[in-house]
Amino acid sequence: MKVLTARDGDLQISDELRSHIAYFEDGRLLVSLSHRFNPHVRGFMGRLKHLGRPYEVVICDLAAIAKAYEQAGTTEEHSNMQATAKQLFERAAEKRASDIHIRVSSRQRTQIFFRIHSELTFIEEHTYEYGDQLSTTIFQAMADVSDATFEKLSRQDARISVRSRLPECLDGIRIATSPQVDGYIVVLRLLYNDTSNDLDLSRLGYSPAQIDRIEVLKKKPTGVVLIGGPTGSGKSTTLQRILGAIISSSQGRKHVITVEDPPEYPIPGAVQTPVTNADSEEDRSREYQKAIKAAMRLDPDIMMLSEIRDNPTGRLAVQAAMTGHQVWSTVHANSALAIVDRLADLGVNPALLTDPTIVSGLVCQRLVKELCPHCRQPLANHLDDFEPRTRERFLRALDVETACVQNPGGCEHCGGTGTVGRTVVAETIVTDEKLMELIRKNDRVAAIDYIRNELRVASMLEHAIQKINAGLLDPLQAEDVVGPLSEGQEIDSRLSLVA
């Protein structure tokens, strides 16, 4: 509510009188108990009558009047800074950034970065006060699900989903904060709303063979399918497209329920349930478990759990599969087989994890920057740019005649970056009894050999090498994601994925 007697308000008064009264645009006139008979206060009332402005006297103490002016000033500052914040969101969205980092430091001022194609890019620098006001406004005045106040020395989470506070291309912004030695950091994850428009996994970078396996998994009536990968590897996007395709192909005949903490992308046709009323990690885990149990009672055909993060969640996912549901979820793991190890580390019963009727599919993915097709350069022309050990590795592992490297100067088509987004490198496994028996025996070498030679499943490294040979990926950038290209790597023609 606007205070008309504020310094920049419609009714100008002296600072002394301002400490005694506060007049709001709704007609409330706060008057200090000790100054209700003050001649200047009475004179202001006469001024209001003369101007034809109605007023209702509310007697209070001086602290309440001071707070009224303080809140009015904060509201005005928030209003101006909200416009600034929205402009920042729009700039990030134009560059298709995945995250905005706001680092507020008493020593290094405020630095703002955009994460574009998996790399942090410095955008601008401001004063500490600017960053502090921007962060406070985003958290307290723009977030619709957050704590009441922004606590700079605490770790907090929030979300912006009100449409008027977002660019048109965003469905929401997820907020995470954390203190640092000399200040704090705010990270904003941008959730784009165009992800539900295209359900084709090939556009993410999945190969025909990988998509065929996922189609097999989609048709299984029961079982848990787990998608692994590190943070920011696109697991949620893949999951959203898979569920969207299931709903579309079933024409709404499948009842899909999700349990998400927090919900990220909209999935048209699914019942998306958020985890609420969680103020701590313990509360959040408890509420997440309650939400899963509630979802199991809502007659689902398919359940999606945003993440398996602890033992109770893992046990509930397995229980849901055992009671006749198809379950999809994500887990932080470095490879498809490591997904089983991760759940075992969480304490899930190994006998259940190695039952192919319960854990029916293992998918793992990462994202690598894709080369601009207009300015990429042949690797053969740049071999001398690499040190001997790297050059030798490339000569052994790659088809030098077809592989390409990034043009550091870029071109007009890629905005001078040399890349045009990111693409998936993945491995997809439909489990069977023989594979699970090898895992139960802890014979990892035999399990990998069976996956490669019998199931004809390429690893993420092999998938990346094939994309490098197709001229889609820069070999050094791929190594940053999937590790060193193996010397003497031979790609079996039976594993051809890029065609």
Both tokens assigned to 371: 């080369």
Q: How far apart are CA 6 and CA 295, in angstroms?
A: 52
| DSSP codes of every residue in 90-124 | HHHHHTT-SEEEEEEETTTEEEEEEEETTEEEEEE
When mean pLDDT is compared across 210-214, 387-391, 422-426, the lowest value belongs to: 387-391
Placement of tokens 């970065």 in the chain: 113
When mean pLDDT is compared across 71-75, 256-260, 262-266, the lowest value belongs to: 71-75
Placement of tokens 């929030």 in the chain: 158
Percentage of residues in the chain having pLDDT higher than 70: 93
Q: Which domains does the chain show, CATH number per domain?
A: 15-60 (no CATH), 78-192 (3.30.450.90), 201-372+418-457 (3.40.50.300)
Q: How far apart are CA 173 and CA 186, in angstroms?
A: 12
> How much is the mean pLDDT over the chain?
88
Span 110-141, pLDDT tens digits = 999 999 888 899 999 999 999 999 998 898 88
* Phi and psi, residue 247, nearest 5°: -65, -40
When mean pLDDT is compared across 95-99, 160-164, 170-174, the lowest value belongs to: 160-164
pLDDT at 108 over 90: no
Q: What 3-state DSSP class applies to 79? A: helix
Average pLDDT over residues 272-295: 80
Both tokens assigned to 475: 């070999």
Span 211-263, pLDDT tens digits = 999 999 999 999 999 999 998 898 989 999 999 999 999 988 999 999 987 77
Q: pLDDT value at position 466? A: 94
The answer, yes or no, to whether the previous bond of 484 is cis (omega within 30 of 0) is: no
* CB 55, CB 29: distance < 8 Å: yes
Both tokens assigned to 132: 């502090």
Q: pLDDT value at position 117? A: 81
Indicate the pTM of the whole model.
Answer: 0.74
Q: How far apart are CA 46 and CA 338, in angstroms?
A: 78
